[in-house]
Structure 1
Amino acid sequence: MGMAVDGLISGLNTTQLIDSLMQAEAIPQTLLKNKVADSTTFITAMQSLNSKVAALATSAGALAQPAGVDLHTASTTSTAVTATAGTGAVDGTIDFTVDKLAQSQVIVTGPLTQWPDQPPTLTFVAADGTTTQVTAASASLADVAAAINQAGVGVNATQVSAGLDPSTGQPLYRLQLTSAKTGAAGAFTVYRGTPADVAAGTATNLLSDPGAAQVRQAQDAQLTLWAGTAAAQTVTSATNTFSDLLPGVSVSVTATSATPVTLTVARDDKSLTAAANSLVSGVNGILTFISQQQAVSTSTDAAGGTVVTGGPFTSDSTARDVNQQLLDAVIAPVNGISPSTYGISITKDGAVTFDSDAFGKAMAADPVTVKAALSTIAQRVADASTAASDSYTGSISLKIKGEQSTVKDLNDQITDWDTRLADRRSTLEKTYANLEVQLQQLQSQSSWLTGQLGSLPTPPAG
């Protein structure tokens, strides 16, 4: 902005006059800024709607899957046995005893000041007969342990203090060797020597050294079904978890039990009811949000008149379409049966409600049909939500992108107006500055003429 001095000659407040003229000149730009503000508010509301609808698409899609409605609970009569029911679980009970827990193999060497062989060469023989040679950098027990841990033989080595050598006073240590995994498949044998020595029978089994011992034997966990009957059957696992002991049911054990443990699998109506209620709540939350953004408010202006202001979604077709598509997805009949039969209804105000009692009664009467209907409704909601919120093709996403493009164009026009208005102000300032110069020149000429006239001789009196 140029620097202007209020009229020294004219006496005009040119700064105020120019500001008033510029306010009139800037009206088109002000209108553009108002449009940007309205569009920004609309975009923000649409983005919030899109996030809600996208979240609904995810949750409804999960409910529509077989695992979404095929819900069961699994319980046992023992605190040492926990069970989890997943996809494919069926109602029923079964008894079993817990005979063994899975455990890793643990052996320890005798007390040593250093490894007895130089260089320290060991051969590990796995349960499947695979042999692996490990050679340490030195006879230091720390080096031997490090070599074992880095060899990837499925065995972890730990150096453990074992007191002092009574004859030399040197520190003694044992190496504890533990299979990295539990189960019989984790069993191993360690020999001092190479694989060739092992094959030739000349290698020394580490457990035959003085003071060496096997602390724990590798074993699988074991259950016995129908124990004590002619149908008794053992089931083993490398861990303390038995996956799919029954279809879709896994069992974890923490203690043995000679007394039979009863496992019970039952339909989880409570969780299914909560899932149905969550679906309806998700849809209803979006419908409520759209209604709030469509609401028209009134206020009073300075003159006492009533001002009516629409919400961001007032008259917006995209929001109306999303609203209707979600309603249709929830309340449309399923195989000719109204969802109200399953407790899902619409009120006169357009809200969706869920009656858990009605849903429970329907489940008690025909759980297969109810679960299939709920899955169908959830899939329709997921499809409608995805069609609206998809990042590339969703109606809401496309609307947001279009509005953002409009805002960009408007901001470009506003920037152009900044330049135009700056030029206009500069022109006005120059115009009024020139006016002052012209007035000063006229004033100077007037003063000169007055002086010339005053210097003329006065004519003699007649």
Structure 2
Amino acid sequence: MGISLDGLASGLDTTALISSVMQVEAIPQTLLKYKSQDLQSMVSALQGLNSKVAALATQATAAAKPGALDLNTATTSSDKVTATTTAAAKAGSIDFQVTKLAQTQVAVTPKVNAVTGWPYTTMTINSGGKDYTIQPLPSNLDDVVTKVNAAGAGVVATKVDVGGGDFRIQFTATKSGAAGAFTISDPGTTFTDVKTAQDAELVLWPTSPTAQTTIKSSTNVFADVLPGVTLTAKEVTAAPVTLTVARDDAAITKLASDLVSGANGIFSLVASKTAVTSTTNTSGTSTTAGIFASDSAVRSVNQSILSAASLPVGTPPRSPSEIGISITKTGAMEFDATKFGAALAADPAGTAAKVQEIAGRIATAATAASDKYDGTLTQKITGQQSEVRDLATRISDWDTRLASRKATLQRTYSGLEVALSNMKAQQSWLTAQLGGLSSGSTSA
């Protein structure tokens, strides 16, 4: 740290003087800092917009894919069976009856006294066509359980306290249905099956003796009974059940509504960051334009998405408003679910085709703006980030330049203070000398 010589000879506050000079000298750097802050704010705003546009591009691309609106839902006429669908489901119906539910085999040993323990030495489990021989230590129930569970025989053993100091060992298949069936043999004892291994059975066309067909499942779940439809049986059904697969109007309406909402999210964000706001205080009224107010690239992206969503669709071209998709006076989109539902009921294929045409156009416009390599917004962000880095380098250069200028001023003012101090010292010496001469002349 340098020595401060403020006012030692001149009485001036040289530190304050230097600070004032440096503030003037730093004006170019301050302007660069303001510019950098503005650019960083713009980059942040553009990144937020680009994220929304990219999300819309993904959403619209998915909606535009062939079959994206081929949405169906499945129902059954009984609460004892549930149905779920995948995108492969098609409209249709079929009758069936659940005649059996899947069971997991369970077997138990006779009672075994805790004091006398396990009275046998060898046990054989046959599972999946393979024998597994287990030789536990005599009189040790826990060892029986441990060795069965370690054998990998497709059976889990559990010691069960049945009271009075007695226990049974329960054996449970690790697989449900017939695939998990097992047998256990042990010299001198008999094992009791509590539950037998059993597949679930579902009979198709149960009222037709010549057509009825039985299908089985080890898990109570029957996949692809109809294409893309899975049935899960919860109980045996005494009467036939009807499975019905029909167009899912609610899901199709939601997809169209979500597409409009996604586009509106872009329009709303751009509008909020383009609006001019007025502020009134004691000094008067001032106006501030939104960060996107003068940005032609943002306006272009906004307009391209708006056009994609609102231009005529179909052959011959018709307004999207006919299917409930319209543009408002404020430049936003509006979705009329009632009108869309009526159009879907009257012309399902045509309405779906129009939604997909709109989705395809939105996907093209949004992708052109947000593509991670050459999107309009992406390139603008990249360019401005480069400019921010350049400004950071220039600001850093100014730090070096200003530090050098400040050091020069400090040396100059320090030198002036030293010079003035020396002059004052010489003045005092001369004054003293002159005083001595005057005093000598008077004495003579």
- TM-score per shorter chain, which class? 0.7 to 0.9
Which position in structure 2 is the counterpart of 1:323?
Answer: 302
Against the structure 1 CA distance between its residues 354 and 183, is the aligned structure 2 distance closer, same or farther, given a 3 Å change threshold?
Answer: same
Using the alignment, how far apart are the partners of 1:28 and 1:447 within structure 2?
Answer: 46
Against the structure 1 CA distance between its residues 56 and 219, is the aligned structure 2 distance closer, same or farther, given a 3 Å change threshold?
Answer: same
Which position in structure 2 is the counterpart of 1:353?
Answer: 334
Find the residue that maps to 2:15 and give its secondary structure.
Answer: helix
Normalising by structure 2, we get a TM-score of: 0.87
Which position in structure 1 is the counterpart of 2:239?
Answer: 259
Whether 1:221 aligns to 2:200 is yes
Against the structure 1 CA distance between its residues 436 and 85, is the aligned structure 2 distance closer, same or farther, given a 3 Å change threshold?
Answer: same
Against the structure 1 CA distance between its residues 363 and 418, is the aligned structure 2 distance closer, same or farther, given a 3 Å change threshold?
Answer: same
| Amino acid across the alignment from 2:6 | D
Whether 1:274 aligns to 2:273 is no
Which position in structure 1 is the counterpart of 2:392?
Answer: 411
Q: Aligned match of 1:291 in 255, 260, 271?
A: 271
Whether 1:131 aligns to 2:125 is no
Find the residue that maps to 2:126 and give its secondary structure.
Answer: strand
Which position in structure 2 is the counterpart of 1:195?
Answer: none
Question: How many residue pairs were aligned?
Answer: 434
Which position in structure 1 is the counterpart of 2:35?
Answer: 35
Find the residue that maps to 1:69 and give its secondary structure.
Answer: coil
Find the residue that maps to 1:42 and give its secondary structure.
Answer: helix
Shift of 1:283: 0.6
Q: Aligned match of 1:188 in 172, 182, 206?
A: 182
Whether 1:444 aligns to 2:438 is no
Structure 1 contact 91–267 (Cα < 8 Å) conserved: yes
Which position in structure 2 is the counterpart of 1:122?
Answer: 124
Which position in structure 1 is the counterpart of 2:91?
Answer: 91
Which position in structure 2 is the counterpart of 1:423?
Answer: 404
Q: Once the two structures are superposed, what CA deviation does each residue of 1:70-126 show, in whole Å capped at 9, x if it has no partner? A: 2222222322222223323333443322211111111112233655554x4534232
Using the alignment, how far apart are the partners of 2:379 and 2:118 within structure 1?
Answer: 73
Find the residue that maps to 1:327 and give its secondary structure.
Answer: helix
Which position in structure 1 is the counterpart of 2:217?
Answer: 237
Using the alignment, how far apart are the partners of 1:276 and 1:50 within structure 2?
Answer: 22
Q: Once the two structures are superposed, what CA deviation does each residue of 1:231-286 show, in whole Å capped at 9, x if it has no partner? A: 33323222122222222222212111212223332222122112211110111111
Find the residue that maps to 1:447 and give its secondary structure.
Answer: helix
Which position in structure 1 is the counterpart of 2:348?
Answer: 367
Using the alignment, how far apart are the partners of 1:55 and 1:374 within structure 2?
Answer: 18
Using the alignment, how far apart are the partners of 2:344 and 2:7 within structure 1?
Answer: 89
| Amino acid across the alignment from 1:175 | I
Whether 1:209 aligns to 2:189 is yes
Shift of 1:457: 4.0
Against the structure 1 CA distance between its residues 54 and 172, is the aligned structure 2 distance closer, same or farther, given a 3 Å change threshold?
Answer: farther
Gaps of 5+ in 2: none
Which position in structure 1 is the counterpart of 2:74?
Answer: 74
Using the alignment, how far apart are the partners of 1:383 and 1:146 within structure 2?
Answer: 63
Which position in structure 2 is the counterpart of 1:249?
Answer: 229
The percent of aligned pairs where both chains have the same amino acid is: 50
Structure 1 contact 67–86 (Cα < 8 Å) conserved: no
Using the alignment, how far apart are the partners of 1:315 and 1:424 within structure 2?
Answer: 38
Across the aligned residues of Structure 1 and Structure 2, the Cα RMSD in angstroms comes to 2.8
Find the residue that maps to 1:156 and give its secondary structure.
Answer: strand
Q: Once the two structures are superposed, what CA deviation does each residue of 1:387-439 show, in whole Å capped at 9, x if it has no partner? A: 43344444333433333332223223222322322222222122111111111
Structure 2 contact 83–230 (Cα < 8 Å) conserved: yes
Q: Aligned match of 1:178 in 168, 172, 175?
A: 172
Structure 1 contact 134–148 (Cα < 8 Å) conserved: no
Normalising by structure 1, we get a TM-score of: 0.84
Using the alignment, how far apart are the partners of 1:91 and 1:395 within structure 2?
Answer: 43
Which position in structure 1 is the counterpart of 2:20?
Answer: 20
Q: Which moved more, 1:342-351 or 1:136-145?
A: 136-145
Find the residue that maps to 1:242 and give its secondary structure.
Answer: strand
Structure 1 contact 2–426 (Cα < 8 Å) conserved: no
Q: Once the two structures are superposed, what CA deviation does each residue of 1:135-154 show, in whole Å capped at 9, x if it has no partner? A: 45645333333333334333
